[in-house]
Structure 1
Amino acid sequence: MAEAAVGRVALMSIHPAYARAILEGRKTIEFRKRRLAADITHVVIYSTAPDQAVVGYFTVNGQETSSPASLWRDFRDQGVISEDDFFAYYAGRSQATGIKVGEATRLRNVLPLSDIGVSRPPQSFQYLPRDRFAKVLAAV
């Protein structure tokens, strides 16, 4: 199902609590300091320590970029983050991006990064070749 609509894919490092919230459908916006390319259709979720594994992926339903205050006002109920942590993350920045989470899919078997040909976790995110995303889809 997801394969038919796959454009470019990003691999994103996400803290475990937020990764779980996305996969459970409680977090419907992922806050970032910069936008993804406009043609990104899927984000592969790498859950950082202590998990250190690819745990799932989600479709991208658009992005919103504005001031941190405006982004907080519009999406605070969808982000599963405290106001203090949100504004600490964006301290000193004039722009903030919210990636709208579409359908989230949890992997049946989590994958180490090496299984998808990645040697180390991205600092924030990196683009992932489609053939590597196929390995993620195979783990659903």
Structure 2
Amino acid sequence: MCTILLSIHPEFVDKIMNGEKKFEFRKVKTKRKPDKIIIYSTSPVCKVIGEAEVEDILVDKPENIWSETKKFSGINKDLYIEYFNNKDIAVAYKLKNVIEYPEPIDLQSLGIKSAPQSFVYI
């Protein structure tokens, strides 16, 4: 078990925080199994906004993952299909116990110099 920091676009961070998006999609599964995700909101916010526990990690064909996650995907099907275009595998981190920090945090305070392209282990 470990903690990862994910870079997520602000519009999706908002949907995670309000409960509309309960799955975070990725094209690659982490080698180690995360039990917590630290949520970094990308530009223009550029801050760590909160965290969530990982309830489950779904790995399957993109069409199967969509069928299982679409109700709480926080995105439309066209965007999902575009994101996983030509991919054989989709990864969906099922989030629970989402916490929004009272004050956003700078990456430097976590010992991270710059935002990861996808994720970084903490």
Q: Does TM, normalized by the shorter one, top 0.5?
A: yes
Aligned pair count reads: 122
Q: Deviating runs (4+, > 4 A) in structure 1?
A: none
Contact 2:2 2:32 in 1 (8 A): no
Matched with 2:13 is 19
Shift of 1:38: 4.8
Matched, 1:122 2:116: yes
Contact 2:36 2:53 in 1 (8 A): yes
Name the SS for the 2:15 alignment partner: helix
More strand by share: 2
Once residues 79 and 16 of structure 1 are traced to their aligned partners in structure 2, the CA distance between those partners, rounded to angstroms, is 15
Map residues 40-51 of structure 1 onto 2, 5 A cutoff.
40-51=34-45
Matched with 1:106 is 100
Shift of 1:36: 2.8
More contact order relative to length (CA 8 Å, sep ≥ 6): 2
Contact 2:7 2:119 in 1 (8 A): yes
More helix by share: 1
Once residues 85 and 25 of structure 1 are traced to their aligned partners in structure 2, the CA distance between those partners, rounded to angstroms, is 19
Once residues 32 and 111 of structure 2 are traced to their aligned partners in structure 1, the CA distance between those partners, rounded to angstroms, is 24
Name the SS for the 2:74 alignment partner: coil
Once residues 53 and 14 of structure 1 are traced to their aligned partners in structure 2, the CA distance between those partners, rounded to angstroms, is 10
Amino acid paired to 2:54: V
Shift of 1:37: 4.0
Once residues 40 and 66 of structure 1 are traced to their aligned partners in structure 2, the CA distance between those partners, rounded to angstroms, is 18
Map residues 19-98 of structure 1 onto 2, 5 A cutoff.
19-98=13-92
Kindly report the root-mean-square deviation, in angstroms, between the aligned alpha carbons of the 2 structures.
Answer: 1.1
Structure possessing the higher radius of gyration over alpha carbons:
1
Amino acid paired to 2:27: K
Map residues 3-18 of structure 1 onto 2, 5 A cutoff.
7-18=1-12
Structure 1: tracts of 5 or more residues without a match:
1-6, 129-140
Shift of 1:51: 0.5
Shift of 1:39: 3.3
